[in-house]
Amino acid sequence: MKVAGVIEGFYGPPWTHDERLDLIRFCGAHGLNTWVYAPKDDPYHRRLWREPYPDGDLARIAELAAESGRHGVELAYAIAPGLSIRAGDESELEALEAKREQLRGAGVRAFQLLWDDIDPDAVSAVAQAEIANFFAGGEPLVVCPMGYAGTEETPYRRAFAPPLDPQIVLYWTGPEVASTGIERDELALAVRSFADNELLLWDSYAVNDWAPETLFLGPLRGRDPQLVQGKLHGIVANAMVQCVPSKLALATVADWARDPDAYDPVASYERALRDHGAEVVESLRRLAPERVAVSIPRDVPALIEALALGVDAAAAIGLLEPFT
């Protein structure tokens, strides 16, 4: 796979600057080569996409880009203009290009274009493809389509995908928005539905912005190792609103991406607990200072099952602490 990384792509309070720097270093240490900047509630990423970043914000992005370079990680900035962009207006394309140039000046070299989570009538599928082709400019580009989940052909995909530059890679979340399992044949069907464009798995394990108090702290499971034999550009994991606790799951994503055939979720999780368990528990204590009684799992496989459906911070401390 060409890409293995993390995306800050959730709704809710974005990570702090220090958390982002820490996650970039984490990515480098675990062999993840990409970190995507796409927090939904950064106004300059989405709602105010036309407006340039203020100097202070731009300086912090420049620091993220520099830190990424030091750790062998590519910082990709994603812009999401779909809430308000006016299709057919040349000045809108100029605004997109101006925003990209500002970020290039801060050291950002990779860009993505996101059409997710917008009103179906906001921008037509054909217009989305035209804008994507402009933004690509004949070079490789990652684009998130409006219909990013599922395997079936749809009117949207039939209008959107065929006009795309063949170098454009499309995000796909699997058969569901948050997929418990993803098989190679499902990937093949999705590729066909997107006119044979290569897909990049936007993996929604362990994102929790729909219920931020629920933490998904176990290992990645249910990903067919044969996915890498299909037309898959890579995997980008959407982390939790809670930055440091995300490390347990993200470390296992890194292991899966490194060698899907050899991936063992239990062994991977044991390593994640060894490397990050104490740090995660300490972070969780700040969320839930009061202790609660839990039934202690007998071993790591039992711990994984206890965490599988998500737990709150207090329960997570009780479950994880004996293993850290």
Which tens digits make up the pLDDT trace of 92-143? 999 999 999 999 999 999 999 999 999 989 999 999 999 999 999 989 999 9
C-alpha 119, offset from chain centre: 21
Give CA–CA dist 246/238, Å, rounded: 9
Model pLDDT for residues 264-290, shown as the tens digit of each residue: 999 999 999 999 999 999 999 999 988
Give CA–CA dist 303/102, Å, rounded: 47
Evaluate if residue 291 carries a pLDDT over 90.
no
Residues 6+ apart with CB under 8 A from 269: 218, 219, 248, 252, 300, 303, 304
C-alpha 126, offset from chain centre: 25
Q: How many residues does the chain have?
A: 324
Cis peptide bond prior to 190, omega within 30° of 0: no
What is the residue-averaged pLDDT of the chain? 97
Most distant CA atoms of the chain, gap in Å:
63
What integer is the mean pLDDT of 184-200?
98
Pure H helices in 47-173:
55-70, 90-105, 125-136, 155-160
- Vertex 230: Cα angle to 193 and 27 (nearest 5): 105
What integer is the mean pLDDT of 68-78?
98
In the chain, pLDDT over 70 holds for what percent of residues? 100
pLDDT classification of 221: cutoffs 50, 70, 90: very high
pLDDT for 117? 95
Model pLDDT for residues 294-304, shown as the tens digit of each residue: 999 999 999 99
Tokens matching residue 254: 């890194």
Location of structure tokens 């711990």: 303
In the chain, pLDDT over 90 holds for what percent of residues? 97
Q: Classify each residue of 188-213 as buried b or exposed e, where b means 16 or more C-beta atoms within 10 Å of its C-beta.
A: ebbbebbbebbbbbbbbbbbbbeeee
pLDDT for 240? 98
Evaluate if residue 227 carries a pLDDT over 90.
yes
Evaluate if residue 177 carries a pLDDT over 90.
yes
Q: Say whether 117 is catalytic.
A: yes
Location of structure tokens 């108090």: 213
Give CA–CA dist 128/277, Å, rounded: 43
Which of 57, 117, 275, 312 does the annotation list as catalytic?
117
User: Taking the model in full, what pTM does it have?
Assistant: 0.96
Evaluate if residue 44 carries a pLDDT over 90.
yes
Give CA separation, 297 vs 301, 303, 307, 322, in Å.
Answer: 8, 5, 10, 9
pLDDT for 1? 87
pLDDT for 289? 85
pLDDT for 70? 98
What integer is the mean pLDDT of 164-173?
97
pLDDT classification of 45: cutoffs 50, 70, 90: very high
Q: How does DSSP classify residue 299?
A: S
pLDDT for 290? 84
